[in-house]
Structure 1
Amino acid sequence: MEIPFQWSFPRRLHALAVLFLGLCLSVAVHAEIFSERTEDLAQQVKLATGQGKQLAVLFEQDGCDACARLRRNVFSDKAAAKRFASTFRTVSVDLGREDGRVVTPDGSPQPLREWAARLRVPGTPALLFFDRDGHILYRHVGPLTDGEALRLLARYVVSGEFENQPFASFLASHRSAAAAKHSLQGDICRTRS
């Protein structure tokens, strides 16, 4: 006579714990990048450093079609988002708020639009990358069209290639010229005065 397999209580508890952990990790991995809005970038640099990452900040504003397309067509690419999030802590700031203030990565409180102007952010979308000391590494203004362009932008920043060539050239060297040109096409949304 065959005895059916029975799990002991500790084995059942262990299996449930593993299942719960897997669910938690899958939710964390699939969280949309740049979903957290913040005004305190100094705190975000500290959090990024604690996670062994650099900080990527998305400047966006309501009513910006290019920002909506970026979220819909690029950030929704789960593989690209997962890879990007493994390297960068991602947050966004709302450049459309006329009264917006921000604590900059170096800890100084400033009007958001004035700070963005000093960083040469003429409109949205714009992605700014900061090192672990809060210094700007690279600024990308304008749209990206797909997850592959986002992955290449991450590689471009992490490798330091921004010191050697423009992103369009880097992109062209990793894609066909036509695909690279298409990856950067589109307008930016000017900040309202």
Structure 2
Amino acid sequence: MTRLFATLFAALVALPVFAAELGDDGLHKAPWMRDTFKDLGDDLEEATAEGKRLLVLIEQRGCIYCTKMHEEVFVVPEIKQFIEENYFVVQINMFGDVEVTDFDDKAMPEKEAVRRWNAMFTPTMMFFPEESEGELPADELAVVTMPGAFEKGTTLNLLRWVVEKGYETDEPFQKYLARKLGE
């Protein structure tokens, strides 16, 4: 019986643990997130200089859907690697007080920026073009906004569709997703 327990314990210890690390603000922290001054114009320039796309990820403390994304989706090796290679991710706290400077140079606390952008759900992912097209607020400049949590396949394909600039084609994301899932 002792050998059985030892074997079971060894098997449990060998299982990967995907507990998302929480920061002092109660939000999940991933190594691919950038700690910036949250000046979105500067963040876009830096992302473009690195050959990456700017992704603003809006989350809140205690969000069960954010937890799902961090523990079940963002940890999938293919998704994690795709994010690391293609995206410059800035996290915004839906109810935070850290100052954010929007693309139109208006500075405000995170919670006011989120309200301004009409983001009502967490997580929300906002994807931006490689260059700013004038002085617009983030919600008007974003090429794609994904409110809510989605499964692995949908999330990975959305990340790919944005990098491939699918939003500039005649194939909407839903048809792209159906085609990719059918391959």
Q: Is TM > 0.5 for Structure 1 vs Structure 2?
A: yes
Determine what percentage of the aligned residue pairs are the same residue. Answer: 26
Alignment of 1:55-94 (within 5 A): 55-94=54-93
Deviations along 1:98-131, one digit per CA (max 9) or x if unpaired, are x443111343313433432343311210000112
What's 1:115 paired with? 113
Q: Distance in 1 between matches of 2:66 and 2:90?
A: 14
Q: Distance in 2 between matches of 1:165 and 1:121?
A: 25
Q: Distance in 2 between matches of 1:131 and 1:76?
A: 25
Q: Which runs of 5+ in 1 are unaligned?
A: 1-30, 177-193
Aligned amino acid, residue 153 of structure 1: L
Alignment of 1:1-193 (within 5 A): 32-34=31-33, 36=35, 39-97=38-96, 99-134=97-132, 135-146=141-152, 148-163=153-168, 164-175=170-181
Deviations along 1:53-81, one digit per CA (max 9) or x if unpaired, are 12011000111000011011111112211
Distance 1:48 1:35, change over 3 A: closer
Q: Which runs of 5+ in 2 are unaligned?
A: 1-29, 133-140
TM normalised by structure 2 equals 0.67
Aligned amino acid, residue 157 of structure 2: L
TM normalised by structure 1 equals 0.64
Aligned amino acid, residue 177 of structure 2: L
Deviations along 1:119-147, one digit per CA (max 9) or x if unpaired, are 3311210000112324321111111222x
Distance 1:117 1:169, change over 3 A: farther
Q: Distance in 2 between matches of 1:124 and 1:61?
A: 7
Q: Residue 37 of structure 1: CA displacement?
A: 6.7
